[in-house]
Structure 1
């Protein structure tokens, strides 16, 4: 296999990697915020449920969660699922997993906010919703950006776990080429792809963080 063909094949796998990465972020970030509300709820039942959910998602391997999400509907409900469900199962498992981590990140940021800000907003006539979304949340995002960046970079590398459900992303493609051509070069190129991708993500998050500097 020549270099051009190898890069073409890795490029196809890279597109799948980016799809998993983007879809996971799009759904897990807002879901994590919703779960954090449940985690901080005054309702004991809701708080216990969300706390247990976070504990399970963070306490078990993502690889196992992928298997459960994919095979669970068949073994529990007897549902016959199409092959296209593999990709949906990957996204679902990734979203559920990362939402748990993001929920704890949001919670730490929200609980670190001084109570005086809530009291001041109340005096100014803000509703609870206005107080949170206009005053608290922008500051929370600024505070938790480093932690979110770390999780986002980890997500880039975790996309390689999609091979468990036979989703051919970049790392799986690199392994297949390396095995068939008996060369380590595809793996080295894949490593370079991951590094450049992570570098771009880190720079993008750093840019966002700088734009939020006015909250200091």
Structure 2
């Protein structure tokens, strides 16, 4: 059996076990969250070859190298025998050492971060490790579809801004880790072009500032429409 197919089967047929599937996720999050300039095709080529010359800039190289490292950790995790816990989540961020915080993987201990949104600044409180652990536990036990639980986990973790940087990236990768654990055979991504990007950013703003949960259902439905 081909090793790639074997890995995909062991992960419930996850698209993330394929280069195309992983490239789609990393390209979209890179473009929407961090201004990735390289194309989807260049992103896919980089994942296949590791050739930095296919990318448009050093910033793109650093970003995609970090996302690749974090994704490898995500895909190699023993979901069958291990829980999604705080250490697992912090390790996702820790694998983004080129573009994340000064202390990758370390939770913030002060209110030292301001997030720019469509409606002005958002200042998240100091993150509580116990609350993050609770969210991770609830994500695997709530009586909802896996897609809705993944969208909820992303929203909660992104709003908490638990690290010095790389928070939305870490949150989205964690949500996809949930889908891997569930064997859902799906990806939770974000739009990278078209009017849906503006819709997503506005809904994310409303979630940050007002606690408006419209984002969660919208993100779940948008991902279903991409299948």
**TM-score normalised to structure 2 length:** 0.27
Higher helix share: 1
Rg larger in 1 or in 2? 1
Q: Which structure would you say has the larger RCO, counting Cα contacts within 8 Å and 6 or more residues apart?
A: 1
